[in-house]
């Protein structure tokens, strides 16, 4: 008799997360990923969508989108002001999901949602469902350490959404090993102590720290906080797998808040220069 169908084990094939796909491709090309950051709804929802599309057109490999939050303790003045502008528009999580759907319809590159835990906690499982429907590939919850992530992990683990974790210059070796054991997609190395914001110079220790991370894990390393020029990006790109830039891009919005064409033009030029340097 032939084998009964019910006796054959069914193996679920998990779809590759788009973050992995990007880093795998860039590794074969010996290139570094460019990950820009902007706030959803700054200066308004339509303009921020145009900015996101502009970033993609000019070289973004992955895009990080900040959900506006009233108490962004990890962020400096530039991003704080950006969130304030967006919050005046009363941006909700549903607005964020809708924004991401529209962006994905334009081009389906990996999207990471940057948020604080409170909005996620309030929605609970509904957050994970909305994130999956929107096409979110990763979530970075800046105030949620691995030890406290069990509930969020439970919601997202079967939805092919990665939680991105942070490492800081002050992270010790044992702590680093713990965080890296949870990490998926890539790990975000915060290049400076303190909050976000463009810096004229970056610590010399970045390269040695990235090397230390890579000796523990094979996961890609993205470096962010402080990078503000193509020279800095090129230098960081020699050791890191991704360069993450937010405040410098958002500063263009603040500088030309009443001239949307100038905002788009300056962000396009800057993004093109950064990607060309990588």
Q: Are 168 and 132 in contact (CB under 8 A)?
A: no
Closest by CA position to 43, among listed 87, 92, 100: 87
Q: Are 96 and 113 in contact (CB under 8 A)?
A: yes
Q: Are 23 and 220 in contact (CB under 8 A)?
A: yes
| Angle between helical axes of 260-277 and 247-255 (0-180°, round to 10) | 160
DSSP H or E segment with residue 141: strand 138-141
Q: How far, in Å, CA of 56 to CA of 64, rounded?
A: 11
Alpha helices in 10-70 (DSSP H): 18-29, 45-57
Mark whether 255 is an active-site residue: no
Mark whether 256 is an active-site residue: no
Alpha helices in 88-190 (DSSP H): 93-106, 117-123, 125-134, 150-156, 173-182
Q: Are 160 and 195 in contact (CB under 8 A)?
A: no
Out of 42, 61, 75, 241, the active site residue is 75
Token readout for 27 is 């590794």
Q: How far, in Å, CA of 40 to CA of 111, rounded?
A: 12
Out of 42, 64, 137, 241, the active site residue is 64
CA within 13 Å, CB half, 153 = 12
Burial class of residue 225 (count of CB atoms within 10 Å of its CB; 0-12, 13-18, 19+) = buried
Q: How far, in Å, CA of 165 to CA of 103, rounded?
A: 24
Catalytic residues: 64, 75
């Amino acid at each position: 008799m032939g084998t009964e169908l019910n006796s054959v084990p069914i193996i679920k094939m998990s779809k590759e997360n788009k973050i992995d796909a990007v880093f795998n491709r860039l590794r074969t090309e010996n290139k570094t990923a460019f990950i820009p950051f902007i706030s959803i709804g700054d200066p308004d929802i339509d303009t921020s969508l145009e900015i996101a599309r502009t970033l993609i057109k000019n070289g973004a490999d992955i895009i990080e989108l900040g959900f506006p939050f009233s108490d962004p303790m990890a962020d400096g003045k530039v991003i704080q002001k950006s969130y304030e502008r967006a919050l005046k528009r009363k941006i909700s999580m549903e607005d964020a999901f809708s924004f991401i759907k529209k962006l994905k319809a334009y081009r389906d590159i990996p999207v990471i949602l940057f948020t604080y835990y409170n909005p996620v906690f309030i929605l609970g499982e509904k957050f994970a469902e909305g994130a999956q429907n929107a096409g979110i590939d990763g979530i970075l919850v800046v105030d949620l350490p691995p030890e406290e992530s069990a509930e969020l992990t439970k919601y997202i683990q079967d939805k092919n959404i990665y939680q991105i974790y942070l490492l800081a210059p002050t992270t010790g070796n044992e702590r680093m090993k713990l965080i890296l054991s949870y990490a998926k997609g890539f790990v975000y190395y915060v290049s400076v102590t303190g909050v976000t914001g463009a810096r004229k110079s970056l610590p010399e220790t970045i390269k040695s720290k990235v090397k230390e991370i890579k000796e523990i894990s094979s996961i890609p390393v993205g470096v962010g906080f402080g990078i503000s020029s193509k020279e800095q990006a090129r230098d960081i790109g020699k050791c890191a797998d991704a360069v993450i830039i937010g405040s410098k891009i958002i500063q263009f919005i603040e500088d030309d808040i009443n001239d949307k064409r100038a905002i788009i033009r300056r962000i396009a030029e800057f993004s093109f220069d950064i990607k060309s340097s990588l």
